[in-house]
Structure formats: structure tokens, C-alpha cells
């Protein structure tokens, strides 16, 4: 299949979200009196991931996620929760400052630029994601950026993908490829919507335990240009 529309997830696919998150956790929590060590980082990471998992399953909304995130952290580390909006705003501002790239990400996007139509499909807040994508240099190579809070739905909801599909001009679905690191958001979304997907994962058996699978798996984002070139030759 020769694809023409490449829809990239951003966090942990092109942008190094873990590094942005660690820096934002440290800066924000320390302002509110929580001294941040590895245990705090690990706790926040798994608590936050569990909330995102629930969001992807449709159990909570993004707004509920934002309200639930920090009271639990404050209770655990015995500091007063300052009320909704304070830590949340600081955290989001700090997070929006982080825009480190995954290794090979910019080179990959540059190699594909001009040959394919390139888009970002990402869950998150527009003010955070748009700034990070711009500051990282990625946005300049994109034909469009679709952020869940702006679209009104999140990955893997089919309504999210339907809206993105409209916005890219409703091409033949066989010409679309979704590339992302998340089985539950990117791959599930693509499978449900009926387009091909590539999972980017270094794990040994990244698709084990799921009742759906990606079209292909690569270990690094930098493998994507060769992967696409090989497919084009097969034709």
C-alpha cells in the first residue's frame, strides 16, 4: 500500500513526553512544598497514567481528569491542596515549556516532508501541545495539528478520528497511516476507524494481551521512512 497521509501521535512518538513531565512535576510540586525524588516521580507517573487509561476507556472526561490529578498527590505527600486551578495552571505552564524530541524524530519528519501529507493527532490541551509542537520545530513540517480538546473528542474515540478525517479532506482510507506508541489510543483508534497503523515500541511483545493489533511494529520512529519506501517498492 502506498500511503499518502501520515497521522503521527506526538507524545512518546515524536516528543519526549517523559522528560517534559519530569521537569514539570519537579518545578510544580516543589513550589507547593513537595520535595521531588524518584518515588514522587514514579507515583505521579503511574497515577497520571491510570487517569489517562480511564479517559481512553471513556470512564472519565478530560475535565474530570484535570480535577482528579493533584488532590490525590497533595494528600499523599501531606501538603494542603490549594484548590482547583492553582497547581493545575502551574503544571500546565511548566509542561508547555518541555519540548524535547524523541531520538531521530525531527530527522524522520524532515525526510518525509514534501513526500507525504503529515499531521499530528494528539490528546491534550491546545495551549500545552501547540506550544510544545511549535517550540520543538515539528509544527513547521506539519500540514495540520489535531488536538483532542480542540476537536471535542479524544483518541481512541471514533468521533475524534471522524473529525480528523473530515479536516484532512476525506481521502481514501487506504491512503492513511496512523503512527503512534499507544496500543489503547493510537492503534485501537486506527483499527476501529478502519485505517492501517504502525506501533512504535521497544517492548518485546508490545501487542500481547490486546484483541486487536497494528499493521506493523517498529522499534524506533527513525525506521518509518525505510518502512514506507519498502512498501512503495512492493507495489
List the catalytic residues.
9
Query: Is there a cis peptide before residue 156, judged by omega within 30 degrees of 0?
Result: yes
User: Rounded to the nearest whole angstrom, what is the least distance from the CB of residue 60 to Mg ion in the complex?
Assistant: 18
Among candidates 179, 182, 185, 184, which has minimal Cα distance to 222?
179
CB of 147 to Mg ion, least distance (A): 13
Closest to 32 in 3D by CA, of 63, 64, 73, 92: 73
Beta strands across the sheet bearing 176-180: 144-147, 117-122, 5-8, 176-180, 196-200, 216-218
Q: Which is nearer to Mg ion, 29 or 190 (CB)?
A: 190
Cβ proximity of 92 and 116 under 8 Å: no
- Tell the smallest beta-carbon distance from residue 12 to Mg ion (Å): 4
Nearest-approach distance from CB 200 to Mg ion, in angstroms: 9
Number of neighbouring beta carbons within 10 Å of residue 184: 16
- What residue ranges bind Mg ion (CB under 5 A)? 9, 11-12, 181-182
Amino acid at each position: 500500500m502506498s500511503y499518502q497521509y501520515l497521522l503521527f501521535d506526538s507524545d512518546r512518538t515524536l516528543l519526549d513526553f517523559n522528560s517534559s513531565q519530569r521537569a514539570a512535576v519537579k518545578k510544580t510540586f516543589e513550589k507547593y512544598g513537595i520535595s521531588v525524588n524518584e518515588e514522587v516521580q514514579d507515583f505521579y507517573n503511574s497515577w497520571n497514567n491510570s487517569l489517562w487509561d480511564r479517559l481512553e476507556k471513556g470512564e472519565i472526561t478530560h475535565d474530570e481528569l484535570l480535577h482528579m490529578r493533584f488532590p490525590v498527590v497533595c494528600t499523599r505527600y501531606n501538603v494542603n491542596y490549594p484548590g482547583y486551578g492553582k497547581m493545575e495552571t502551574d503544571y500546565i505552564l511548566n509542561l508547555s515549556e518541555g519540548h524535547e524530541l524523541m531520538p531521530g524524530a525531527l530527522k524522520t519528519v524532515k525526510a518525509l516532508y514534501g513526500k507525504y501529507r503529515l499531521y499530528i493527532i494528539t490528546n491534550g490541551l491546545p495551549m500545552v501541545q501547540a506550544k510544545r509542537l511549535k517550540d520543538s520545530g515539528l509544527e513547521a513540517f506539519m500540514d495540520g495539528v489535531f488536538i483532542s480538546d480542540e476537536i471535542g473528542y479524544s483518541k481512541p474515540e471514533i468521533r475524534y478520528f471522524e473529525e480528523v478525517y473530515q479536516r484532512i479532506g476525506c481521502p481514501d482510507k487506504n491512503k492513511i497511516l496512523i503512527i503512534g506508541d499507544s496500543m489503547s489510543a493510537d492503534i485501537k483508534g486506527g483499527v476501529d476507524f478502519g485505517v492501517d497503523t504502525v506501533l512504535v515500541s521497544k517492548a518485546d511483545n508490545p501487542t500481547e494481551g490486546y484483541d486487536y493489533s497494528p499493521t506493523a511494529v517498529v522499534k524506533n520512529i527513525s525506521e518509518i521512512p525505510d518502512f514506507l519506501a519498502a512498501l512503495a517498492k512492493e507495489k
